[in-house]
Structure 1
């Protein structure tokens, strides 16, 4: 946005001169660092198309891949520099398998399997470049880019509006992504204004990386009703080909059942460190009363949910007077709710705890202090303890390498090492148990 025509020409001339100086033929990208006074400095040349080449394609209406092949085949270019015009504004976002909230200021690469993926609808102004499909694995050993999202608008503001809208149309389950972080950045007032430089996160990191407000009651109601209806749908006989579940009364075993009491279920949902106790009553076909936190009517939040969900998890609900269309995905013990509710949240994720008298694996408490887990994928470069060793709180247990940095895993308390589950040079995933203490 700060690129004037004069600066664009000056920088373009420098790039062409650099290519000519080495006799370069073909598509290439020259990168410069721009200073506040519009001085610019050569950084590098990539002798290929850049990842961001779709931005150039959208604003020039040229196919750079086709032109690159023509040059490689010894053909004449069909256009000249003076024929090129800039049309509107384009922006690209890289959709990565990484967790930008887990280890600020570094964004941690994460591997995993794409259990569920839906891309934004493509159009003349929305482009998605990707090479993976649902069920594919994203490895920690290669660039974890899932897709590129490129949007075009008449101006920067219009392009940013399209970018934020398209980002919220993504649905990815199975591994963490940077989608919400990118959307919050694209929608930030300072980013929209332009003039952004490499100090953006230093200045505005709290705005785009800090936790969002607690879940609103409508989100919890959507999650709870979706869980029960999907559970009911999956338990239906294979002969039911309707593909849509309207209410628990649709169960064949309840066809002729009537009761003075409405069908009622209770469950516990967790998000972050918050637990919500939910009671759901089926009042009639497609209508459910949802009570959040408490049997006392004066303390509980009461909502009425109307609507249905189909076998794919796509729902059309109304919570009190607000309408929500979206998708619910259950994976392991988590339910993911995707819906555009005019907030900055990309998704709502709830955990469904297993009934147990012991802390679940990975929960805060006894297990969390006994088991040392890796905070990110990486390579074990040194193991400093062995089974039977007596250790003290904060003592280094092992060193791992990730994101080109060394990370020391330390003991959370005094104790004895019961078992070590890794060796030097092992590659480990995020959340891998490496040491168990007494």
Structure 2
């Protein structure tokens, strides 16, 4: 086993690899960009080396800087994690030439497998069914357009290198092809350093099922069963689970044999994943091979009781796979595991990636049933330069039904205050009939997104519960503040609005979804009469312990989970969450309506394309600029028809949130 390894990655995967290193007694070394100087993976490692600027091309995609850091640190091997350079064969070769061990397959294997195009050609030659398409080297746009017509629409454009849903577009007509191709190539170039694409026929209503494979340098090749990843939005996996509720034992055996055959044909060493598209009738097509560990690997670990990173390290160090795994054709698994990805993004604004400081971050307490993989803690900042993942929530139980219940409970315990998050979306997802019935396909979310992001009917009680939590918080804080003052016994230091001769009134002002809730409160110490101007409520025996509020509401004892910080409150009734911002009681200025004459940057990012100039006539909804944030492209469109008066950003500019980018003539 190695004494010291360098982790050429960041965020939750770097933290996850560090945990295994600690358990095995291997010293973990990290690298970091300027944006990650105080990140958690830097704090957790034994040492961390700077490798460049905040953008991936300036740091985590700089193989030379990473190898230099490994050599200077005394590391014996490099673990690439996933993303960035993890599937770059030139980097793998460079690591070996430097006298280090690359914890993954060889550069030669990656060249044959890491390219989606090359992998499809290889599988077709081996008799594995593949989806019809074009995988050639010639990337001339005119040729690609002709090939698209030959394949037929709808078709998919995919980055030949990389994964994670980046560089993928579905094109439904020839008119859309050129613009989609350009966008896909730009995104692929930024995310993976290469802009080669492939084309393939788009199969309607497929399921996405992948098999975890492992090989060692002693000739052993195994698979560790499947994961189903059919719940996807724009080809980004949202929910992963194992075992697949769709597979029969016979189909599992056939697909597992195909996965092993693919690996054996390449003398594959270390961890990889063979991904398949599976039709409704059980026919399956090879999709791609990922020559790395997958984001969703924890669900496999939960049902098998394995540490896949440990297996990676041991195989890279020359050890054989455990005999107990090699002698079993199919590895028996226990129970059911599900993973969800918690992101800083706004589902109600097209899943716009978010950034900013995590003022509050609460995640479930890890246990036998719940696992948390995260690269941030409260107080950290989600930056604009990388994926906005906050954490992965993984749950396990004996049955799928029980695991879904565990996941609902885990989500209810999550709270994010700062950048917006997709928690509401995830809570709707795990209760949706398509998930509960296991009938979801990989295009379902995109076809029916409104079912998952539409706002729930408001809970009339939620503002009152939030107000009571704030009142109890104020009452608890007031004595502490008074003790530091000149007169700790002053009646004016009380927070219960006590007045001589009459009951005092306090006003709690809350904001939710652009609406102001102004609640008048009479009473104290957990007993209140509340009035919002249209409705009155009586809450008695209220107690708030910092995480939950219990009270009698109109005589019925109830309990809510509540998260409170200085700026906001989250009230969760067990099914839905309600987010409120605390506002001054006597200062309210409504947000100015958009004039329709300006296009603003929705978040910090970089302008990659400007498609208009002053004097251009535009129509409502016409694309004016393309900006990049969180490794994704965002299309900024005209709010109305008119004439461009000014363009205030150029391609390559970094812009702040709410910066005016384009002005229309009045």
Task: Give the Cα–Cα distance (whole angstroms) in 2 for the partners of residues 108 and 306 of structure 1.
Answer: 41
Deviations 1:142-179 (A, max 9, x none): 11111111111111111111111111110111011112
Deviations 1:303-337 (A, max 9, x none): 32542446x576444433232243342454xx222
- 2:303 partner SS: helix
Task: Give the Cα–Cα distance (whole angstroms) in 1 for the partners of residues 651 and 527 of structure 2.
Answer: 57
Contact kept, 8 Å, 1:291 with 1:302, in 2: the verdict is yes
Displacement, 1:64?
1.5
**Which residue of 2 is the match for residue 44 of structure 1?**
288
Displacement, 1:415?
9.6
Displacement, 1:218?
2.1
Runs (5+) with no aligned partner, structure 1: 242-248, 295-299
Candidates 527, 531, 541, aligned match of 1:291: 531
1:342 and 2:582 are equivalent in the alignment: no
Deviations 1:208-263 (A, max 9, x none): 2211001x23211122233344455555554649xxxxxxx996458996533212
- 1:195 partner SS: coil
Contact kept, 8 Å, 1:375 with 1:431, in 2: the verdict is yes
**Which residue of 1 is the match for residue 583 of structure 2?**
352
**Which residue of 1 is the match for residue 559 of structure 2?**
324
Contact kept, 8 Å, 1:372 with 1:436, in 2: the verdict is yes
Pairing 1:178-189 to 2, within 5 Å after superposition: 178-189=422-433
Task: Give the Cα–Cα distance (whole angstroms) in 2 for the partners of residues 354 and 422 of structure 1.
Answer: 39
**Which residue of 2 is the match for residue 213 of structure 1?**
457
- 1:87 partner SS: coil
Task: Give the Cα–Cα distance (whole angstroms) in 2 for the partners of residues 371 and 315 of structure 1.
Answer: 44
**Which residue of 1 is the match for residue 140 of structure 2?**
none
**Which residue of 2 is the match for residue 425 of structure 1?**
652
Candidates 251, 264, 289, aligned match of 2:505: 264
Q: Per the alignment, do residues 140 and 354 of structure 1 end up closer, same or farther by CA in structure 2, a change over 3 Å counting?
A: farther
Candidates 335, 345, 351, aligned match of 1:88: 335
- 2:455 partner SS: coil
Q: Per the alignment, do residues 392 and 398 of structure 1 end up closer, same or farther by CA in structure 2, a change over 3 Å counting?
A: closer
- 2:519 partner SS: strand
Task: Give the Cα–Cα distance (whole angstroms) in 2 for the partners of residues 377 and 34 of structure 1.
Answer: 39
Task: Give the Cα–Cα distance (whole angstroms) in 2 for the partners of residues 395 and 36 of structure 1.
Answer: 37
Displacement, 1:115?
0.8
Task: Give the Cα–Cα distance (whole angstroms) in 1 for the partners of residues 508 and 497 of structure 2.
Answer: 26
**Which residue of 1 is the match for residue 626 of structure 2?**
400
Deviations 1:266-317 (A, max 9, x none): 34433225443321111x43211111224xxxxx33332542446x576444
Structure 1 stretch displaced more, 407-416 or 425-434: 407-416
**Which residue of 1 is the match for residue 156 of structure 2?**
none
- 1:293 partner SS: coil
Contact kept, 8 Å, 2:518 with 2:585, in 1: the verdict is no
Q: Per the alignment, do residues 354 and 236 of structure 1 end up closer, same or farther by CA in structure 2, a change over 3 Å counting?
A: same
TM-score normalized by the length of structure 1: 0.81
Task: Give the Cα–Cα distance (whole angstroms) in 2 for the partners of residues 122 and 20 of structure 1.
Answer: 37
Task: Give the Cα–Cα distance (whole angstroms) in 1 for the partners of residues 497 and 441 of structure 2.
Answer: 67
**Which residue of 1 is the match for residue 378 of structure 2?**
134
Contact kept, 8 Å, 2:375 with 2:391, in 1: the verdict is yes
Runs (5+) with no aligned partner, structure 2: 1-244, 485-489
Task: Give the Cα–Cα distance (whole angstroms) in 2 for the partners of residues 404 and 156 of structure 1.
Answer: 33
Deviations 1:25-51 (A, max 9, x none): 111111111112212111111222211
Q: Per the alignment, do residues 236 and 433 of structure 1 end up closer, same or farther by CA in structure 2, a change over 3 Å counting?
A: farther
TM-score normalized by the length of structure 2: 0.55
Contact kept, 8 Å, 1:290 with 1:302, in 2: the verdict is yes
Structure 1 stretch displaced more, 157-166 or 423-432: 423-432
CA RMSD, Structure 1 to Structure 2 (Å): 3.4
Structure 1 stretch displaced more, 197-206 or 62-71: 197-206
Q: Per the alignment, do residues 185 and 146 of structure 1 end up closer, same or farther by CA in structure 2, a change over 3 Å counting?
A: same
1:278 and 2:519 are equivalent in the alignment: yes
Contact kept, 8 Å, 1:392 with 1:415, in 2: the verdict is yes
Displacement, 1:265?
1.9
- 1:94 partner SS: strand
Q: Per the alignment, do residues 22 and 253 of structure 1 end up closer, same or farther by CA in structure 2, a change over 3 Å counting?
A: closer
Q: Per the alignment, do residues 353 and 29 of structure 1 end up closer, same or farther by CA in structure 2, a change over 3 Å counting?
A: same
- 2:349 partner SS: strand
**Which residue of 1 is the match for residue 435 of structure 2?**
191
Contact kept, 8 Å, 1:385 with 1:397, in 2: the verdict is no
Q: Per the alignment, do residues 289 and 356 of structure 1 end up closer, same or farther by CA in structure 2, a change over 3 Å counting?
A: closer
Contact kept, 8 Å, 2:506 with 2:521, in 1: the verdict is yes
Task: Give the Cα–Cα distance (whole angstroms) in 2 for the partners of residues 148 and 255 of structure 1.
Answer: 42
Displacement, 1:24?
1.3
Task: Give the Cα–Cα distance (whole angstroms) in 1 for the partners of residues 618 and 319 of structure 2.
Answer: 71
Pairing 1:106-125 to 2, within 5 Å after superposition: 107-125=351-369
Task: Give the Cα–Cα distance (whole angstroms) in 1 for the partners of residues 432 and 580 of structure 2.
Answer: 23
**Which residue of 2 is the match for residue 244 of structure 1?**
none
Contact kept, 8 Å, 1:109 with 1:144, in 2: the verdict is yes
